[in-house]
Amino acid sequence: MAKKVSRRLREALAKVEDRAYEPLEALNLLKETATAKFDETVEVHIRLGIDPKYTDQQLRTTVALPKGTGQTVRVAVVARGELVKVAENAGADVFGSDDLIEEIQKGMLDFDKLIATPDMMPKVAKLGRMLGPKGLMPSPKAGTVTTDVAGAIAEFKAGKLEFRADRTGIVHVMFGKASFPAEDLLQNLKALQETVDRNRPSGAKGRYWRSIYVAASMGPAIQLDINALRDLKLTEVA
């Protein structure tokens, strides 16, 4: 049985033309079609010319969104000695040592990001089965295994995100809220595009960018002109 499309979504879909939009035009349209009764999350879906089953075609990295995510990020830190106090003073929501590892083992997952110091990783590794599927396992590549605990907390609370290409070569990233000015969303999107280009896997051959769509969480997908986004300079966006 076909899924019934709500009148709200039908009206939003009617505003979207079947073409690639200029970046700012697309984001203004996205804001116009974000008509849910709450502040919708804004997402981008990028299809890349990669096959992640090969190790030299995988993409996993982080991006610092200049205008933040619009979300409150709850950060947990597993550390030892003085660094536990550093984590507390830096604004970690949850912090501890072996005691925190025990709590997590018992099912406490009241956080969005887990930072661990390198010396605690052998113990944290035992939580892999629990943390891995939820994307919470700390890793050096994601900036979540570090001795600079205070710096990492500040970055993730300010809008640093980890992302990766899924097994079909598509990157899905939230990059703000529908209530953000379109110019702020564009700054975040531009930072993301530059990060994807900067971290192009060595095994990626041929056309790297295949398609890019933006959407509010309850709104229609809007195709964006990839070249227009890549040609933009951040100074033009700011």
Residues in the chain, total: 238
Which is more confidently placed, 194 or 232?
194
What number is the average pLDDT over the span 40-50? 96
Is residue 9 predicted with pLDDT exceeding 80? no
For the chain, percent of residues with pLDDT exceeding 70:
95
Please, what is the average pLDDT of the chain? Answer: 91
Can you give the pTM of this predicted structure?
0.79
pLDDT in tens, 89-134: 999 999 999 999 999 999 999 999 999 999 999 999 999 999 988 8
CATH number for the domain whose boundaries are 18-69+160-237: 3.30.190.20
The domain spans of the chain are 18-69+160-237, 75-157
Write 79-86 long-range contacts (CB < 8 A, 24+): 79/116, 79/117, 79/120, 79/149, 80/117, 80/119, 80/120, 83/117, 83/147, 83/149, 86/149, 86/150
> In the chain, where do the E strands start and end?
41-48, 60-64, 75-78, 94-96, 113-116, 160-164, 170-177, 209-216, 222-223
Give the model confidence (pLDDT) of 145-172 as tens digits.
Answer: 999 999 999 999 988 888 999 999 999 9
Q: Assign a CATH topology to domain 75-157.
A: Rossmann fold (3.40.50)
SS3 content of the chain, % helix, strand, coil (to 5): 40, 20, 40
Query: What is the pLDDT confidence band of residue 36, given thresholds at 50, 70 and 90?
Result: confident
Judge whether 18-69+160-237 and 75-157 match in fold.
Answer: no
**Would you call 110 helix, strand, or coil by DSSP?**
coil
How far, in Å, CA of 215 to CA of 197, rounded? 21
Mean pLDDT on 22-35: 93
| Residue type for position 116 | A
pLDDT digits (tens, 9 = 90+) for 206-235: 999 999 999 999 889 999 999 999 998 866
